[in-house]
Structure 1
Amino acid sequence: MAATDPIHSWMYFLQRDPKFETERVYELRRQKPTKKIPQTNMLLEKVDNIAIHDVRPRLEQCSFGTTGFFLLDMDTGLVAEDFDHREKVIKCFLPQLAAEVKDRLNASRVQIFDYQLRKRNRDFPISNGEVYEYRQPSCLAHVDATPGDIERLRHGLNKGSFERVDNVRCQFVNAWKPLRGPTRDWPLALCDNRSVDPEMDLKICDLVAPDGTSETASVHHSPNQRWCYVKNQMPNEIWVFMQSDSNGRSGVPHSSFPHPDATEEDHLRESIEVRI
C-alpha cells in the first residue's frame, strides 16, 4: 500500500551541547533544588516541522523486531470514566493487558509495576500557574528506561526470588491507550527504532527521587529519525512499544505532539500508560 503524506508538527529534544559529552544529564524528582544543584541540567530545543507518518496503512510491518512497536487491538469493556477508579483498573484492565502482551511477545512472565493517567488541561501547553489534577502530555522526546535500569527493576520486583530471573532475558515495555477517541488532540508519536542511532541520538538521564535513582534516555533530534503515529487512534487501539532490552537494544523514543488538524471540538487528550 502506498505511503500517505506525513503531517508536520513540533517536539522538544535535548540540545547537542558539548557539556553532555562529559556531564551526565539529570532531573530531580520530588526534591527541592538548591542554588548549587538546579532541578535539572537539561538544555532543550524546540524542533519544528517534524514529519510524522501515519502507519495505519502499514501496521502489519510494525513489530518489536522491526520498528520496536506494534498496535494491539483490545476491547476492554470499560469506558473512560472507569479508569478514574483504581480498583477497576487493577482488577479489569491490567490483567487483560498482561495476558495480551504475554501472548503477543511469547513471554514466560509479565510483571506490571506502574500505570499513569494523563488528562490534558485546556490551557496546556501554556501553564496557567495552577497545579493540574492530572499529569499532562509530554512533548519532550524520551525513552523511559535503559538496559542498566532493567537490572534495577529485575532485582527490585523480584526480591527473594532474584536468582530465578537473574539470567533471563528481560524487556521493559510500555503500553499506551487513549481513553476517548478518535485521538486528534495531542496523540502519541513513536520513533522507528531502526532510524535511531543510540550512540549519537540518546543520552542517559538520571531521575533522582528521595527513594532512589532510575535511568531514562534523553533524545537528540536527527533528520534521520522517522517519527510515526496512527491516525484517529481509538480506545481499543493500544500502542505497545519497547523501552529497553537486557540484550542491549535501545528503546523507542516517543513524545506527544500537537496535531495540525485538531479542532476545539475534539476530545481533550485522556490516556493511560502502563509500564511492564
Structure 2
Amino acid sequence: METSISYLAQDPIFDIEKPFDTDVPVEHIPGARASNHKNDERTVTVYPITDASEWDLEKHGFCLIKAKTGLKAEDALTRKREVQKDYWNEIEAILHEHFPQYSRIECYDCTVRKRDPDFPANIRIYTKVEQPARRPHSDCSAKGAHMNLDRAFPGQQSFWEGKDFDILNIWRPLRGPNNDWPLAMCDWTTINPSPDVRINDAIRRDRVDENAILHYNEDHKWYFMKDQTVEDLIVFRNADSLGKRAQGFHCSVLNPEASGELRESVEVRCVAFR
C-alpha cells in the first residue's frame, strides 16, 4: 500500500543538541520547547507480509508468532491493572516456547491503545488511552534498556548488570481482523545504523527515557500484516544490552484501504536474558 511515514528530519540543530521530545504540556514554562524535532514526511510503500515464516528476530529485528491468549479487549481497556499479570504470564510462556535461547523472561510493561476518531488530525496530549505512534522508532536504546530495568525492577541492579539481555515487544490488535493504522515494521537489513538512527531523550512527567528514531533512507523496506487477528503476535527487539543486535524499528501507518472498527491494540514489553 502507498502511505506516508513521518521520519525525523536531518537538522543542523542536532550538531549542538540531542534530539528530545516530551508528552507533557510545557506551554506554561517560559522558553520551554516540547521538542526539537522536525518532520520529514515521506511517501513510502508498505508491503503486506505474505509468509510469516520468512521473518527472523535475529536477522530482521522482528518476527511473527501465531498464538492464543486469554486477554479480552474490554478487560484490557477498562481493567488493565487487574488483568495484565495473567497476560504477562501467557506471553512469557509463549516466548519461552518459541525462543529457547532465553533463560529467563520477565514482562514489565503493558500499553493499551485505542485510536481516537480525530487521530491524527487532532493529536491531543491527554486522551483516555494512548494513541498510535507515527514516528518510526525503537522504544529504547542500549542505554535506555538499562534505564527501563532500573525503573521496572528497582533495587535489583546487581541481577542484570553485566548480563546479556534483549528488550522485546509483543504487539497485537485487541480486535481483529485489523487493518486500521496497522503496525509497520522496517526490515533491519535495510537500515544503515550510522546515518539512519538517532538517539533521543524521551522526557516523561516522572522520568527521562532514551529511545532511538529513524531518519529517512530510500533503502528502507517496510512491511505490515494485513487482516491481523488477535492470534497474530508481532515480536520485535527494541534493543539489547550490548547494542549489537537487529532492532525492530516500527510505527503505525495510515492504511488508505482500511474499513471497519478503529484500531485497538495491546503491547507488552519484557526483558529476555540469554
Query: TM-score, normalized by length of structure 1?
Result: 0.89
Q: Deviations over 1:69-126 (max 9, x none)?
A: 1112121134321212225532431210112123322211212121111111222111
- Among candidates 36, 60, 65, match of residue 67 of structure 1: 60
The correspondence of residues 12-91 of structure 1 with structure 2, limited to 5 A, is: 12-30=6-24, 32-33=26-27, 34-48=29-43, 50-55=44-49, 57-84=50-77, 85-91=79-85
Percent identity over the alignment? 27
Question: Between Structure 1 and Structure 2, how many residues are aligned?
Answer: 266
Residue 11 of structure 1 pairs with residue 5 of structure 2: yes
2:193 matched residue in structure 1: 198
How much does 1:58 deviate? 2.4
2:210 matched residue in structure 1: 215
CA RMSD of aligned residues (A): 2.0
Residue 185 of structure 1 pairs with residue 180 of structure 2: yes
2:265 matched residue in structure 1: 271
Indicate the SS of the match to 2:106.
coil
* Structure 2 alignment gaps of length 5 or more: none
Structure 1 pair 122/273, CA: closer, same or farther in 2 (3 Å)? same
How much does 1:51 deviate? 1.1
Counterpart CA distance in 2 for 1:169 and 1:36 is 42
1:3 matched residue in structure 2: none
Indicate the SS of the match to 1:216.
strand
Counterpart CA distance in 1 for 2:80 and 2:242 is 34
Q: Which moved more, 1:25-34 or 1:224-233?
A: 25-34
- Checking the alignment, whether the CA contact within 8 Å between 1:180 and 1:234 is kept in structure 2 is yes
Indicate the SS of the match to 2:14.
helix
Residue 257 of structure 1 pairs with residue 253 of structure 2: yes
Counterpart CA distance in 1 for 2:222 and 2:248 is 10
Counterpart CA distance in 2 for 1:118 and 1:180 is 12
Counterpart CA distance in 1 for 2:214 and 2:142 is 16
Indicate the SS of the match to 2:57.
coil
Query: TM-score, normalized by length of structure 2?
Result: 0.90
Q: Deviations over 1:16-51 (max 9, x none)?
A: 112223320011343525332211111112212x11
Q: Deviations over 1:140-195 (max 9, x none)?
A: 11111001112223444444443232221111111111011111111100001111
How much does 1:233 deviate? 0.5
1:240 matched residue in structure 2: 235
Indicate the SS of the match to 1:112.
strand
How much does 1:251 deviate? 2.2
Structure 1 pair 129/206, CA: closer, same or farther in 2 (3 Å)? closer
- Among candidates 105, 110, 129, match of residue 115 of structure 1: 110
Q: Which moved more, 1:83-92 or 1:190-199?
A: 83-92
Indicate the SS of the match to 1:118.
strand
How much does 1:130 deviate? 9.4
Structure 1 pair 130/246, CA: closer, same or farther in 2 (3 Å)? closer
Moved over 6 A (4+): none
Indicate the SS of the match to 1:110.
strand
Indicate the SS of the match to 2:59.
coil
The correspondence of residues 84-163 of structure 1 with structure 2, limited to 5 A, is: 84=77, 85-106=79-100, 107-127=102-122, 131-163=126-158
Indicate the SS of the match to 1:12.
strand
Structure 1 pair 200/119, CA: closer, same or farther in 2 (3 Å)? same
How much does 1:128 deviate? 7.8
